Amino acid sequence: MTLHEPLGVAVAQFAPTPDVDANLATIRSFSIRAAERGASIVVFPEYSSYFVNPMDDSFARHAQSLDGPFVRSLEALASELGVHIVAGLVESTDDARRFANTAVAVGPEEQTVAVYRKQHLYDAFGQKESDWVKPGALDEPQTFEVGGLTFGLQTCYDLRFPEVTRRIVDAGADVVLVPAEWVRGPLKEHHWRTLLTARAIENTVYVAGADHPPSIGAGNSMVIDPSGVPLATLGTQSDVAVAFVSRAVLTETRAVNPSLQLRRYGIVAKPG
């Protein structure tokens, strides 16, 4: 693939609502803003299609398929703007009560290019996501290419499991995109920033995390380089931040810190 560097990656921070059309309107507005600022990829939060707090059975009722109107709208928008868009989808399953927490990536050819279903559900800090969500299968990571760089997906709570990111990097990812609804709480902003940074440093990759803003989310959406340096960040506001990623930076970082080559352990899925 032809190199087009540096490549703009945007994190778009907003608070999804139960109104799918309103969510799509925000996604459109922020995608246009990101494209105008030079972004080729725009990452939106987890649950971008539908969200209420606390979680309840309305999620399953509002779940859509991968060829439903929400994803079709994302595909049309990506085609119109000539960008890739990543967003969280409440996806329907064969279980009427539970849905899949899905991240979908669509491209400017008006097609879905990668899908990731959240593998580690948020049964922590007093929450029980598994009451409503089916965990994703441990399938081989789906990646996609833009401008000569390879992108992979994971979701929110997966950040606390470093093997998830390592497995995506083993599949060839140079940039890991993380839609999230990182719930606020004591030290949670610190956890979010630290884990995003750690995943970048230990894998010598770029990491881009897009969160909900307060009052429910922690905000602090950001793009981090392979040495752990924040390139673009947002605080608590709903907005778009753009950073530029480069193959040259990846190569230079990995020459200085060849940790991926020096490691002595692989990743094996846990049975059951």
Which of 68, 65, 73, 130 lies closest to 102 in space, CA to CA?
A: 65
118 is catalytic: yes
- Please tell me the number of Cα atoms within 13 Å of 217 on its side-chain side: 31
Selected catalytic residue, list 91, 118, 134, 181: 118
Selected catalytic residue, list 75, 91, 134, 156: 156
Both tokens of 247, joined, read 């193959």
Name the CA radius of gyration of the chain, rounded: 17
128 is catalytic: no
Angle, vertex CA 113, rays to CA 24 and CA 122, nearest 5:
65
Q: How many residues does the chain have?
A: 272
Quickly list H helices, the chain. 20-36, 58-61, 69-81, 162-170, 188-203, 247-256, 259-262
Query: If you ran DSSP here, which 8-state letter would residue 97 be given?
Result: T
Query: If you ran DSSP here, which 8-state letter would residue 228 be given?
Result: S
* C-beta of residue 205 within 8 angstroms of C-beta of residue 174: yes
Task: Identify residue 272 by its one-letter amino acid code.
Answer: G
Q: What's the rounded Cα separation, in Å, for the pair 99 and 132?
A: 7
46 is catalytic: yes
Selected catalytic residue, list 46, 75, 91, 189: 46
Query: If you ran DSSP here, which 8-state letter would residue 141 be given?
Result: P
Active site residues: 46, 118, 156
